[in-house]
């Protein structure tokens, strides 16, 4: 099992939530308002007058064989609208209850 941490512009939120079940991910934990900035080309998401957009973040746990499907879907979103910003990291899940 793997954990996928996804950081993205709020504009993606509904699309990601609606499509996770189709990709084999029923459960997730999300934070709908997060601040941040991409490391290379990302614009700030601070929720301020100068930088009004906000980010969101999500954790979802997936079976190993579904990781590539989820990442491919997220990559397609990012390529279609690169200025919004979307990143995902895969982490091992060693144990759960």
Match domain 2-91 to its CATH number in 4.10.140.10, 3.30.70.270, 3.30.70.120, 2.60.40.10: 3.30.70.120
What is the value of pTM for the model shown?
0.89
pLDDT, tens digit (0-9, with 9 covering 90-100), for 14-40: 999 999 999 989 899 999 999 888 777
pLDDT for position 90: 98
At 42 the pLDDT is 72
Instruction: Report pLDDT digits (tens) over 38-85.
Output: 777 777 777 788 877 888 999 999 999 999 999 999 999 999 998 888
With b for 16 or more beta-carbon neighbours within 10 A and e for fewer, the 7-31 pattern comes to bbbbbbeeebeeebeebebeebeee
């Amino acid at each position: 099992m793997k954990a996928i941490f996804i950081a993205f512009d709020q504009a993606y939120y509904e699309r990601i939530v609606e499509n996770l079940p189709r990709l084999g991910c029923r459960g997730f934990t999300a934070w709908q308002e997060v601040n941040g900035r991409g490391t290379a080309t990302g614009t700030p998401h601070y929720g301020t007058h100068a930088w009004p957009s906000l980010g969101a973040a999500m954790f979802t746990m997936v079976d190993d064989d579904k990781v590539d499907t989820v990442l491919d879907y997220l990559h397609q979103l990012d390529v279609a609208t690169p200025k919004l910003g979307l990143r995902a990291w895969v982490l091992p899940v060693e144990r759960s209850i």
